[in-house]
Structure 1
Amino acid sequence: MTSRAARVVPLLCLALLAALAPPAAAHPVSHAGGPRLVNLRPAPGEIVSSGAVAVAALAASDREIPSYTVTVDGAPLPGPASSGGTHPTITAAAELGPGDHIARVAVTDSAGATAERAWRFTVGTIDLQRLAGPDRLATAVAISRDLYDAGGAAGAVLARADAFPDALAGVPLAATLDGPLLLTAADGLSEPVAQELARILPESATVHLLGGSQALGEDVARDVRALGFVPRRLSGESRYATAAALARFVGETATAGARPETRTALVVSGENFADALAASSPAAIEGWPILLTRPDALPEETRSLLVTRRVDRVVVVGGEAAVGAAVVDQLEAVVDAVDRVSGPSRFDTAAAVARRFLPGRRTVAIANGERFPDALAGGRHAAALGAPLLLAQDDAFPAASGAVVAATQPTSAVIYGGDGAVSDRAAVDVERARADAGGPVLTAVTPPPGQVVNTLDQVVLSFERQVSVADSSIYVTIGGQEVMGSVGIGDFPSTLVFTATEVPEGISSGLDYEVRVTAAVHDGAGWVHQQHSFLYRKVDLSRGDSGPLVVDLQNRLVAAGYWLGPVDGEYGALTHQAVMALQKVHGLPRDGVYGPSTRGVLESNPPRPAARSSSGLVMEVDKPRQVLLMVRDGQVEWVFNTSTGTEQPYVFEGEQYLADTPPGRWTITRQIDGVREGALGRLYRPKYFHPDGIAIHGSSSIPAYPASHGCVRVTNAAIDWMWDRVPLGTGVWVY
């Protein structure tokens, strides 16, 4: 059973969102009497990237939409288009500059009814570039193509595409050589990489292979020679020895090029790649070597390199779990100064590196921090831009990375890898981090991201200070369709609440639907933009539930002809009775609970039960199914739950009777506008149709089975509604 409160069931991993099979499609409710505009794009409050922006809305209507306009900031957009039909999507696109914009869509249907809707969205101010290819090799080639014109590189570095250890220290080498870092398979040079080498390198240029023949096989060296280049392998007996060999070569090359020899080195864990990637851009810019260590002991290859290169300062990148205190002690024994740059996670460490070594840069570079290949090639590109390399999750931009963007307010950003590496949502988070600097801080969302809920009553956003409802918006969709609702202040001035009033049609039980929340909240001083998702799973509804899902149920019952009084969003006695009547008609268990089987019947748009009468107003009592039908001219107008005679004997005043509702065709001949207190029970506003005193009357008990002494019981509310609509002389057919 769902509850009135927005109670939720236990958390599921957010990654479940990506694994869901597509559920049955939701679709908007048609708006009787005129069109209604829903499913707005961009979503109200959304931040989109600069460039061509499509503005769209779906017109839900019962009629054609021949006339429509789309404007942004009061200016009509050229060539708006309609998908046609009674539910067309109206779309127009234009190049929009950075900042806030007001979109407005207006439509007129074929009967002259109009609808208009306006909303605010924001175009980001960051010049966002994505360098990507269909795979990691192609992404590295795309990065190289952005760095170098034809013949523009002096050399190149090749690393194995599916293993990181030998490549971790390769970015400073590529920068020293003035060439890209490219990836290839271990057993041969891939064709796109071969083509890129041929494009950027002069004849007889040197291509450096990172790692021994187990990392990059001899076939790779052969393929390099076949292109007219000279392969040179830089390797050692271990990843630590390979990093030391690269550092030694970089130092010798820098000295030969008259570059001052560095006395600083960065030391990172050789067990994982994240910290080395974060360090790669400042290391390449400054010419610092990247050396590797074990978590609990300094490898001899690393110690020896520090001594022979006369390094006097080491910066450890990463926390103590990556580079332990024992390693720091060993470093302090061979160099003059050791300090550490770290954070509680790889993302925090990358942000700390950016703040420490590359503060205030107007460009940031972003790569996936959970997989190494794109960041490996991207580190060289970031260094060429003088940009810090921030790390992202697959589908989000971590708060630590966002804090760097908020503090530095960059004007441009470059993302390495496609949507599968750094999602478009994470890319928008970069824009959001810049736009939200100085805005209210979001402290909690309910339901939280990734949670599974069984009610869509409310979405609550809580902030650390008071916010303005007049300037703010919360936009909610389920399965891509808009959930209608209102926005107001919650229990505290710092809480904003979206209250759902209507959910889209077509939401099926037993399936998970993504609910996406897009919010733009203002506090008078700044904005915060929030976008997150949770899961909705439609479950049983029963007495005590309330909200838009109950409204949807009630509307469906009314459309199918089951009487329940006014639609009020409360699953009370009348809705319980209507559900039970539906269950009786279709032979389902009679529990009054809107569960999967009942839902399946109602969502199939079932026909109304067939009437037996053909003319005039007749109340038909269907005893086998225990329902009362209000029939006019052979058409069932309403179905009521009822309870008739038990067909069992009973004793009254010493005589035995049968509790029977006699079959036949009868007529209402008298009625009492009040309560008749009889020896056999209480009859509310009875309408008598049988000479033995049998009536249709109101009662507080209408169970799922025959329970009366012969009368036809309905709810008190139902008999009140019937009173003037079912006059004396109305036929009553019992069968």
Structure 2
Amino acid sequence: MNSKKIIGLIMSTILLSTSTVFAESSYTLNQKRIFGNDRYETSALISKEGWKISSNVIICNGENFPDALCAVPLAKKYDAPILLNNKDSLNQNIKQELKRLNPDSVTIIGGKGVINSKVEDEIKSSVPNLKKIDRLGGTDRYETSKIIAEKVGKSNNIVLVSGKVPSDALSISSIAANKNMPILLADQNNNGIQNYVKSNSVTKTYIIGGEACVSKDIEKIVSNPERIYGKDRYESNEKILNRFQDSINFNNIYLTAAQHNGIDQFADALSSSALAAKNCNPVVLVNTDINKDTLNLIKSKVTKESIIIALGGEKIVSANLVDTLVNINSSPSKENNTSESSGGSSSSSNSNESSYTVSMKQSFPGAFTYDLEVTSNNGSEMLKGYKLLYDGTVIASDEDGDGITKPLSIFFGDDTDRSKFQISKDGKYINFSGIK
């Protein structure tokens, strides 16, 4: 028995033990939408989604993002929802949600210039069992982030983000929170960051955003810096999700707008980040569409149990965009979305003009794999270095270039739809006359 057959048998055993059946891969995902008449009601509804009761609640300003950006790791530590409120008075939706949660403790993020004393007094009179209100606020947003980080607790890993734009912090917040990593604001080199790194024995620093957002000089004063960023907020979001994909739970996927009509959005993402942090779910930033690489990443991670959760009304996150993800496993090939499959033969303009015949036989008696060969119709040429796909997913690959692939026998059962097979080489689809 040659090594290729042995590898094929090992792979078949592994895949069968995990019950991977690609013939059942075409399905739609569940979806829901959480939204209210405004950001305050939406934050209350997000709280209802995640908490029946809570002994702790975080209150952030719903119109001024900087102080709030670093609050998600603290919310995770306290297992607390984040409720948004305006500066001057307690919103009625927030008031009702506080009564429902009936917390022992409320933490207000920001000084009295961010959320004033009147709101604090109204909270005290609205929550019957409230024992204390903490306020975490410094002289500016940078000091506030450091104060919040100290409350989160000592960690060897930290996250640095810009204090001037909200999107990068929102992309990393649920992940940072789940990993107990404080988030600090750091646009430029400053003593506060350097002192924090030394006093907390930080050994790893994730810098989120390009050098225009977080200065390159910062890298000189932190430990083991790793910068994650893309050409825009949506690509940065994808880079972050991709970097931490092995830690992310894709059973719930939160879609939230990073912009609307050219205006930065942060409120729904902030509220949902506390909920997403509970199970390290991803917060996906969208606009009128979704980043292509983000879409491909989600495709590779979702299961039939995954739920797409849109934050905000359809004017903010469109129904069409949600449908794109809900029907994600019915979309065209993961390798080349421009191809169309029919009877195992692509009609794409990328296809080779010549047609091929595909033949297969059991690798050896009792094997769970087949030896599959692709030859030109006149028998003069054997195709090498190709990939076999089923329903857009690569199931076998001729990596050693001998022209033989070893797909598993589970792909050739009575319920297999043979029109879903495709063969590709060098990014082009090959016309072939079926598998026999």
Tell me, yes or no, whether TM beats 0.5: yes
1:361 to 218, 241, 249: 249
Contact 1:367 1:422 in 2 (8 A): yes
Deviation at 1:262, TM superposition (A): 1.9
Matched with 2:391 is 526
Deviation at 1:226, TM superposition (A): 1.2
Matched with 2:32 is 129
Matched with 2:236 is 349
Query: Deviations for 1:34-84, whole angstroms, at most 9, x for unmatched residues?
Result: xxxxxxxxxxxxxxxxxxxxxxxxxxxxxxxxxxxxxxxxxxxxxxxxxxx
**2:145 is aligned with 1:250:** no
Partner SS state of residue 114, structure 2:
coil
1:34-113 alignment to 2 at 5 Å? none
Deviation at 1:166, TM superposition (A): 0.5
Distance 1:164 1:493, change over 3 A: same
Query: Deviations for 1:573-612, whole angstroms, at most 9, x for unmatched residues?
Result: xxxxxxxxxxxxxxxxxxxxxxxxxxxxxxxxxxxxxxxx
Matched with 2:218 is 327
Partner SS state of residue 144, structure 1:
helix
Contact 1:396 1:429 in 2 (8 A): no
Matched with 2:45 is 142
Deviation at 1:437, TM superposition (A): 6.7
Deviation at 1:347, TM superposition (A): 1.6
1:416 to 311, 317, 342: 311
Deviation at 1:304, TM superposition (A): 2.4
The AA in structure 2 aligned to 1:134 is N
Distance 1:468 1:273, change over 3 A: same
Query: Deviations for 1:204-250, whole angstroms, at most 9, x for unmatched residues?
Result: x2211111111111111111111243322101111111100100112
The AA in structure 2 aligned to 1:339 is E
**2:100 is aligned with 1:213:** no
Matched with 1:272 is 165
Deviation at 1:365, TM superposition (A): 2.2
Matched with 2:174 is 281
Matched with 1:179 is 80
Structure 2 distance, partners of 1:524, 1:275, is 36
2:156 to 263, 272, 276: 263
Distance 1:492 1:353, change over 3 A: closer
2:142 to 229, 233, 240: 240
Deviation at 1:494, TM superposition (A): 8.9
Distance 1:194 1:312, change over 3 A: same
Distance 1:124 1:187, change over 3 A: farther
Contact 2:296 2:334 in 1 (8 A): no
Structure 2 distance, partners of 1:346, 1:323, is 14
Matched with 1:165 is 66
Partner SS state of residue 221, structure 1:
helix
Distance 1:492 1:175, change over 3 A: closer
Matched with 2:12 is none
Matched with 2:268 is 374
The AA in structure 2 aligned to 1:247 is A
The AA in structure 2 aligned to 1:373 is A
Query: Deviations for 1:61-111, whole angstroms, at most 9, x for unmatched residues?
Result: xxxxxxxxxxxxxxxxxxxxxxxxxxxxxxxxxxxxxx99xxxxxxxxxxx
Structure 1 distance, partners of 2:329, 2:219, is 36
Structure 1 distance, partners of 2:236, 2:220, is 21
Distance 1:159 1:441, change over 3 A: same
User: Structure 2-normalised TM-score?
Assistant: 0.68
Matched with 2:283 is 389
Q: Which runs of 4+ in 1 moved over 6 A?
A: 469-472, 488-492
**2:330 is aligned with 1:435:** yes
Structure 2 distance, partners of 1:125, 1:494, is 32
Structure 2 distance, partners of 1:310, 1:165, is 26
The AA in structure 1 aligned to 2:114 is A
Deviation at 1:489, TM superposition (A): 6.3
Contact 1:248 1:305 in 2 (8 A): no
Q: CA RMSD in A?
A: 2.8
Distance 1:318 1:432, change over 3 A: farther
Deviation at 1:282, TM superposition (A): 1.1
Unaligned runs of 5+ in 2: 1-21, 260-264, 354-387, 394-436
Query: Deviations for 1:487-543, whole angstroms, at most 9, x for unmatched residues?
Result: x96877599xxxxxxxxxxxxxxxxxxxxxxxxxxx984369xxxxxxxxxxxxxxx
Deviation at 1:278, TM superposition (A): 0.8
Matched with 2:183 is 290
Distance 1:313 1:379, change over 3 A: same
Partner SS state of residue 87, structure 2:
coil
Structure 2 distance, partners of 1:298, 1:188, is 37
Matched with 2:209 is 318
Matched with 2:376 is none
Unaligned runs of 5+ in 1: 1-98, 101-121, 252-260, 443-462, 473-487, 496-522, 529-735
The AA in structure 2 aligned to 1:266 is V
Contact 2:308 2:322 in 1 (8 A): no
Matched with 2:358 is none
Structure 1 distance, partners of 2:333, 2:302, is 12
Distance 1:196 1:470, change over 3 A: same
**2:190 is aligned with 1:299:** yes
Contact 2:28 2:328 in 1 (8 A): no
Partner SS state of residue 231, structure 1:
strand
The AA in structure 2 aligned to 1:340 is R
Query: Deviations for 1:86-143, whole angstroms, at most 9, x for unmatched residues?
Result: xxxxxxxxxxxxx99xxxxxxxxxxxxxxxxxxxxx9952122222212111111111
Task: Give identity over the alignment, percent.
Answer: 25
Partner SS state of residue 291, structure 1:
strand
The AA in structure 2 aligned to 1:128 is Q
Partner SS state of residue 224, structure 1:
helix
The AA in structure 1 aligned to 2:143 is A
Matched with 2:296 is 403
| More RCO (CA 8 Å, sep 6+) | 2
Partner SS state of residue 323, structure 1:
coil
Distance 1:439 1:306, change over 3 A: closer
The AA in structure 2 aligned to 1:221 is E
Partner SS state of residue 385, structure 1:
coil
Contact 1:241 1:302 in 2 (8 A): no
1:426 to 321, 332, 336: 321
Larger-Rg structure: 1
Contact 1:240 1:299 in 2 (8 A): no
Distance 1:226 1:402, change over 3 A: same
Structure 1 distance, partners of 2:344, 2:35, is 38
Structure 2 distance, partners of 1:405, 1:299, is 37
The AA in structure 2 aligned to 1:526 is D
Distance 1:471 1:397, change over 3 A: farther
Contact 2:250 2:282 in 1 (8 A): no
Query: Deviations for 1:228-281, whole angstroms, at most 9, x for unmatched residues?
Result: 433221011111111001001121xxxxxxxxx421111111110111001111
Query: How many residues of Structure 1 are paired with residues of Structure 2 in the alignment?
Result: 325
Distance 1:440 1:134, change over 3 A: same
Matched with 1:693 is none
1:535-574 alignment to 2 at 5 Å? none
The AA in structure 1 aligned to 2:142 is Y
Structure 2 distance, partners of 1:416, 1:163, is 19
Partner SS state of residue 207, structure 1:
strand
Deviation at 1:468, TM superposition (A): 4.1
Structure 2 distance, partners of 1:381, 1:358, is 18
